[in-house]
Structure 1
Amino acid sequence: MSIEFSKQLQIIPVQSIPGMIVVQLPVHGDNRGWFKENWQREKMVAAGLPDFNPVQNNISFNESAGTTRGFHAEPWDKFVSVATGKIFGAWVDLREGESFGNSHTLELDASTAVFVPRGVGNAFQTMVDHTAYAYLVNDHWSAQAQSKYTFLNLADETAGIEWPINLAEAELSEKDRVHPKLEEVTPMSPLKTLVIGASGQLGLALRELYSENTNVEFADRARFDLSSAEDYTQIDWSAYSAVVNAGAYTKVDEAETVNGRLEAWSANVEGVSRLARVCNEHMLTLVHISSDYVFDGTSSVHREDEQVAPLGVYGQTKAAGEAIVATVPKHYIIRTSWVIGEGHNFIGTMAALAAAGIKPSVVNDQIGRLTFTKDLALGIRHLIENNAHYGIYNLTNTGPAQSWADIAKTVYASLGKDVNDVTGISTEDYFQGKAVAPRPLNSSLDLSKIEASGFKARSQEIAMGEYLATLGSR
């Protein structure tokens, strides 16, 4: 058998099985034999192969031609290649979805490798004696992991595999002979998304958005506390591909107190550092919600690349959390402002005051935009599902920036009240004599980056109108 030497490194996606990739490998030979870089992270990732963080390399040596193994779909990604000899490889997609049951076959020698995504059944038949088949995988084998395998019978007719050596004459294990046919296979479920902090305003909006999606799970603080080291050991992180951190300490004024400062740093920094470590270890995408409070409010509009300059403790902890999350290779940091969702919030308070005939004084020198949790949840889903570039994104509702007093007047007008019932007052005068955290006076966030990714939130006027209508129906 001859090996084709000096191929160029080439990445070839398999059209029938999404995520599967054939790799043409450069093999260098002379009178002594041959050499190849079976896995070269820098070159292969640059060429377009997923950086799947391999952790274990296994070799299967096969004494005789006709040895046939598979179909095994493991709960991890694999990079398979031939160390010596030649094989006929076969793959069947055993994942949930439209490509379930699709197959692909290919002869492999030392100059070809295949990236096999999680849940795709892998099988091969040796074509010459003394063939060694190598597996590079990104998780450790364990008895627990083996219980999550999905198997397919090698002889299944519907897979359409034409084995070079008839299976009746091939060498198979007894286990491989009795695996189920395709019609009996339970497809491997996709990795899930875990939402933590699921009882807060954003968590509740995400629950509603994903109410019919069984691949999104929710954990409130009773199940998972960011600050509890023990809680991290109670979750099987290998079952997830992404974590949305919707939990945080958000008591801006209390964060300036001795106890509040400790609680804020515990949740927003120490807890986030534990979460980031887990996401790094398990290659998870981390979606983290941050705040306009990371800025001092001196810029007229805040871009994602602006240097953070928090004024108070809460903003300092959010800025520190951002720095930690940025160490996770797959991360989305979403900066938002003036969040409105289910529960106590500014719009609900103004509506209650209007209904009671109260004429409030409202701050008129803090400028920004509202962020309704419905839109925030939709933006999070957009980034994850569209595989947007990782990094920081500003996300608020759209429309002109306004003061809190402007927004209060809109609420009053929407409820048929006189807008002059709302009196504007400066931040300094409003908090005169009170121990409160400093606020950024300008919280306007530039939205061009997330809009360029294909997502645009509703205008805050439309969102507010819908929200007020729901208040009236409660």
Structure 2
Amino acid sequence: MEPAQQLRTRTTPIPGLLLFELPVHGDDRGWFKENWHRKKMADLGLPDFGPVQNNISFNAARGTTRGIHAEPWDKFISLASGRIFGAWVDLREGPTFGTLFCAELTAKDAIYVPRGVGNAFQTLEDDTAYTYLVNDHWSAEAQKDYTFLNLADEEVAVPWPISLDKAVVSPQDRSHQGLSEVEPMKRRRTLVLGADGQLGNALRTSFAGDQTVEFAGREQFDITSEASYAATDWRKYSTIINAAAFTAVDAAETADGRAAAWRINATAVAVLARTAVEHSLTLVHISSDYVFDGTADVHREDEDPSPLGVYGQSKAAGDVAVATVPRHYIVRTSWVVGEGRNFVRTMAALAARGVSPSVVDDQWGRLTFATDIAAGIRHVLETKAPYGTYNLSNSGERQSWADIAREVYRLCGADPGLVQTVSTSEYFRPGTAPRPQSSVLDLSGIRASGFDPPAAAQRLADYVAALKP
């Protein structure tokens, strides 16, 4: 008995270009194959590229030659009949620009061609048909983003089995430019939303000099506005980092604030999630310790949400929406400190004036400096960490707000004894947002990804030192 055929794949010299050998089952009636199997192929390294259109190209004569076209989408190609010689050239910006890979394909073969890799075929038999899935809809507008290379380029030197002077080639394909004149296809970009806040400014610093990252404040992209989505060409992007949020936790308990919190933190985030799914984007979203009620001493990523107030409820709803995106990172933080108004700056200003503040001593957590959130986000994206939720705060022993206030006073050269302690119930007036008692986040997940958050104590010392005139 003939052994069962196995689906196989192999890599090529062009990053992301994957060649598949498909099991073909045949008898005297013909043959059958699973042309595309999402799960089996994903297990072998095929990206979950989300095809939206299926095309068939029929070629009547042997020697028909098409290409070399680099398209602004990914495609998965296989043969329905006949035999072809395929040539692929990396036309993306980067160190492998100009790399050539060639292979002969029959009905038992398929190939995944990532965006920006030039694609060309020459039929070796009459009546050859190949089929391909693509993850964006073709349009005349999209064709403007193609990159072309001449079939006869001498630098790449494709070894065509049938010489081009005897092949069937369109006038357009004969007229394309050579490799030295090709402008490499640029990588897809990352769009940072909410780029004018504490985290947004930290992300600007972290990605400084990276031309593939764009930053948009509310004036450039309002996440609650349909017009912002409609005006954006999502084909140009691979990733959204959402740093936009309604964070006024006490204002969220008012009638106007409640509506704003849900509009920004939940409804708009659901639209972002739908956009990410529709365009096969990676979505990075910032979550909060406020999605928990604080009864657990330490909060794990897999803990069920149990928010106490409107802000936490709206953030938890946004998290649920983001979790539906196949490529998502939910980065959960606590007690954020960055540029602009924050607790540490307030305490430093009071210390400079010799004020004796009353500070809560029965809420526990760790500070999270915006620079380290930005570094963590960059880490999971660049290392392609497994998608999912990651807790991210600075490391070290848990502290109360009063502990931190005393340390700020000490670092400022003021008397830590000036800080008076008060309970949560005594400090907050009725109508303000309830706070989780414990905001301590378990960091084992982000550490397992290879990112070890710096100690909060050292970050606090550096931050306060930078505030001094």
- Note whether the superposition's TM-score is higher than 0.5: yes
Aligned counterparts, 1:38-437, within 5 A: 38-431=35-428, 433-437=429-433
Question: Which blocks of at least 5 consecutive residues in structure 2 are unaligned?
Answer: none
Structure 2 residue identity aligned to 1:70: G
CA distance in 1, matches of 2:228, 2:119: 35
Structure 1 residue identity aligned to 2:9: I
Q: CA deviation at 1:254?
A: 0.7
Structure 2 residue identity aligned to 1:34: W
DSSP-derived class of the 1:242 partner: strand
Q: CA deviation at 1:5?
A: 11
Q: CA deviation at 1:440?
A: 0.5
Query: Which residue number in structure 2 is paired with residue 11 of structure 1?
Result: 9
Q: CA deviation at 1:230?
A: 2.0
DSSP-derived class of the 2:150 partner: coil
Query: Which residue number in structure 2 is paired with residue 23 of structure 1?
Result: 20
CA distance in 1, matches of 2:461, 2:100: 51
Query: Which residue number in structure 1 is paired with residue 446 of structure 2?
Result: 450
CA distance in 2, matches of 1:45, 1:330: 14
CA distance in 2, matches of 1:41, 1:252: 43
Question: Structure 1's 5 and 114: CA in aligned 2 closer, same or farther, altered over 3 A?
Answer: farther
CA distance in 2, matches of 1:58, 1:167: 25
CA distance in 1, matches of 2:27, 2:3: 9
CA distance in 1, matches of 2:305, 2:294: 10
1:462 aligns with 2:458: yes
CA distance in 2, matches of 1:149, 1:33: 38
CA distance in 1, matches of 2:4, 2:301: 45
Structure 1 residues 392-450: Cα deviation after superposition (integer angstroms, max 9, x where no partner): 1100011111011111111111111111111121111112x443111011100000110
Structure 1 residues 194-240: Cα deviation after superposition (integer angstroms, max 9, x where no partner): 11011111011101111201101111111211211222111111111
CA distance in 2, matches of 1:196, 1:112: 42
- Cα RMSD of the aligned pairs, angstroms, is 1.3
CA distance in 2, matches of 1:277, 1:174: 42
Structure 2 residue identity aligned to 1:72: H
CA distance in 1, matches of 2:156, 2:276: 36
Q: CA deviation at 1:6?
A: 6.4
Q: CA deviation at 1:471?
A: 1.5
| Number of aligned residues | 468
CA distance in 2, matches of 1:415, 1:83: 74
Structure 1 residue identity aligned to 2:406: K
Q: CA deviation at 1:25?
A: 0.6
Structure 1 residue identity aligned to 2:312: G
Q: Is residue 5–residue 27 contact of structure 1 (8 Å, CA) maintained in 2?
A: no
Q: Is residue 311–residue 439 contact of structure 1 (8 Å, CA) maintained in 2?
A: yes
Q: CA deviation at 1:28?
A: 1.5
CA distance in 2, matches of 1:469, 1:75: 48
Structure 1 residues 358-403: Cα deviation after superposition (integer angstroms, max 9, x where no partner): 1111111111000100000000111111111111110001111101
Structure 1 residue identity aligned to 2:455: S
Q: Is residue 5–residue 29 contact of structure 1 (8 Å, CA) maintained in 2?
A: no
Q: Is residue 86–residue 126 contact of structure 1 (8 Å, CA) maintained in 2?
A: yes
Question: Which blocks of at least 5 consecutive residues in structure 1 are unaligned?
Answer: none
CA distance in 2, matches of 1:348, 1:422: 15
Q: CA deviation at 1:468?
A: 1.5
CA distance in 2, matches of 1:101, 1:472: 53
Structure 2 residue identity aligned to 1:9: L
Deviates more, 1:422-431 or 1:274-283: 422-431
DSSP-derived class of the 2:262 partner: helix
Deviates more, 1:36-45 or 1:357-366: 36-45
| TM-score, structure 1 normalization | 0.97
Structure 2 residue identity aligned to 1:443: S
CA distance in 1, matches of 2:307, 2:29: 64
DSSP-derived class of the 2:373 partner: helix
Q: CA deviation at 1:158?
A: 1.5
DSSP-derived class of the 1:159 partner: coil
Identity %: 60
CA distance in 2, matches of 1:5, 1:17: 32
CA distance in 1, matches of 2:262, 2:430: 23
Structure 1 residues 116-165: Cα deviation after superposition (integer angstroms, max 9, x where no partner): 11100000111111111222111110011100001111111221311111
| TM-score, structure 2 normalization | 0.98
DSSP-derived class of the 1:123 partner: strand
CA distance in 2, matches of 1:256, 1:346: 21
CA distance in 2, matches of 1:98, 1:466: 38
Structure 1 residues 280-331: Cα deviation after superposition (integer angstroms, max 9, x where no partner): 1011111110100011111110011112111111011111111111111111
DSSP-derived class of the 2:76 partner: strand
